[in-house]
């Protein structure tokens, strides 16, 4: 009887690329790095009107090793709205004071470009403004 194990470590993010995806060749190992900004938005009533308000923007670092994903990112660029599927990994490191810490990294397996809707256009403009101020 063949055993199969469920993958319970699954992450799905919808957000905006913080920079053009970078393909890196390090000692013959090829991988992709990218950053995705996500912002939770909610509707609030202001006077007699409803308006969107954003909470804090969170930046997610993504690494990808699959050839399929490398092909998927070939046409993507900074500011594109994307949906990413992957898993989360925690990498240990020591900070400047020698304290052990962990950095969360998303290991991407699939990515696709999404189209913008009316609310998305406003979020894109605000996110682009934040990205420009970030450098």
- Over residues 84-126, the pLDDT tens digits come to 999 999 888 888 999 998 888 999 999 999 987 655 556 666 6
Of 118 and 65, the structure prediction assigns the larger pLDDT to: 65
Name the DSSP letter for residue 132.
H
Residue labelled with tokens 């609310």: 119
Q: Residue 74 domain-assigned? A: yes
Based on the structure, what is the number of domains in the chain?
A: 1
Q: Residue 104 domain-assigned? A: yes
Q: Residue 1 domain-assigned? A: no
What CATH number is associated with residue 51?
Answer: 2.40.50.140
Domain coverage including residue 56: 11-134
Q: Closest Cα to residue 106, out of 91, 121, 123?
A: 91
Q: Residue 108 domain-assigned? A: yes
Q: Residue 5 domain-assigned? A: no
- Cα dihedral 35, 39, 71, 113, rounded to 10, equals -150
Q: Residue 24 domain-assigned? A: yes
Q: What is the DSSP string of 24-75?
A: EEETTEEEEEEEEEEEEEEEEEETTEEEEEEEEEEEEEEEE--HHHHHHGGG
Cα 110 from Cα 64, distance rounded (Å): 9
> What is the pLDDT averaged over residues 5-22?
88
Rg over alpha carbons for the chain, rounded to the nearest Å, is 18
pLDDT reported for residue 32: 93
Q: Residue 88 domain-assigned? A: yes
Q: What pTM value is reported for the model?
A: 0.71
Integer angstrom CA distances of residue 127 from 31, 45, 57 = 26, 22, 8
Q: Residue 87 domain-assigned? A: yes
């Amino acid at each position: 009887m063949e055993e199969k194990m469920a993958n319970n470590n699954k992450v799905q993010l919808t957000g905006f690329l913080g920079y053009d995806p970078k393909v890196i060749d390090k000692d013959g190992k090829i991988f992709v790095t990218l950053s995705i900004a996500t912002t939770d938005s909610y509707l609030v009533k202001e006077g007699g009107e409803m308006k969107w308000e954003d909470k804090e923007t969170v930046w997610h670092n993504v690494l990808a090793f699959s050839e399929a994903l490398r092909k998927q990112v070939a046409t993507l660029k900074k500011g594109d709205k994307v949906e990413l599927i992957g898993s989360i990994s925690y990498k240990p490191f020591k900070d400047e004071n020698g304290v052990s810490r962990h950095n969360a990294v998303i290991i991407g397996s699939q990515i696709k470009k999404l189209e913008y809707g009316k609310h998305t256009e406003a979020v894109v403009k605000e996110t682009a403004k934040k990205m420009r101020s970030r450098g």
